[in-house]
Structure 1
Amino acid sequence: MDENRARRVADALRDRGIDAHLENAGIDVYGVRVVLGGGREAIWGNEGTTSLAAEVLLDGDLIGFIPEIPGSEAFDEAQVADAIARADYREPVGQELPQAPPPAAPLQREGGLFRRFLGGFRYDSE
């Protein structure tokens, strides 16, 4: 996933109240990390593929995954955010829920006032 796209998707999820963060998994490897609680987190989009899939980790160990979502290579950012919001992480092989849970209170975007400084001015501001 492109860095700017991953940042915008994470922001869209935070606007829905989902604890999402930009994940930097290496040089030019970006994705979206969703904190699930209890030491669990889901990493979306850093597999280097154009389609959307996730790994579910518990304290860094793989405990499950969300298989590739059919047709996700053509998703726009809103559809990617919706697919991540509809993910069901309860089983080792996760699935998509028919509809997203209702939005919670929005979370503050990461970086605040110094967001562009922390990102090294690499992205376009809104």
Structure 2
Amino acid sequence: MSLPDGREAEWDTDGTAGLEAQVMRNGMLVGFVPVIEGSEDFDEQQVLDAIVRTDYDKPIARQRSVAPPPAPPLPRVGGVFRRFLDGFRYR
């Protein structure tokens, strides 16, 4: 999962029964998410909720009580994709 400032959260269950993550920047470990208690029994929706509710701003991340509000959608960019949508009207 891509995070601000070029960081990435790599979620997995390798070597543990529960869900955990490493936060990396340029291949270097800059933080982690400890094993989330009870996550070994999570279904897909609960896993997604746990990932969204995680606050990655500290070296040892924590779970927020509620998910942050959704951000505005990203704008569409130009190029071939835009030309397909607009019917190749540009020259």
Q: Offset of 1:80 from its aligned partner? A: 0.3
Consecutive unaligned residues in structure 2, runs of 5 or more: 75-91
Deviations 1:41-90 (A, max 9, x none): 10001524331000000111001100000000000000000000000111
TM value normalised by structure 2 = 0.73
Q: Superposition pairs for residues 63-102 of structure 1, below 5 Å?
A: 63-102=30-69
Higher strand share: 1
RMSD, matched Cα: 1.7
Runs of 4+ in 1 over 6 A off after TM superposition: none
Residue 79 of structure 2: aligned partner:
none
Q: Distance in 1 between matches of 2:72 and 2:41?
A: 29
The answer to which structure, 1 or 2, has the higher relative contact order (CA under 8 A, 6+ apart) is 1
Q: Distance in 2 between matches of 1:53 and 1:98?
A: 17
- AA in 2 matched with 1:90: D
Query: Which of 43, 53, 66 is residue 20 of structure 2 equivalent to?
Result: 53
Q: Report how many aligned residue pairs link the two structures.
A: 74
Q: TM-score, with normalisation over the residues of structure 1? A: 0.54
Distance of 2:48 and 2:16 partners within structure 1: 17
The DSSP-based 3-state class of the residue aligned with 2:8 is strand
Counterpart CA distance in 2 for 1:46 and 1:76 is 13
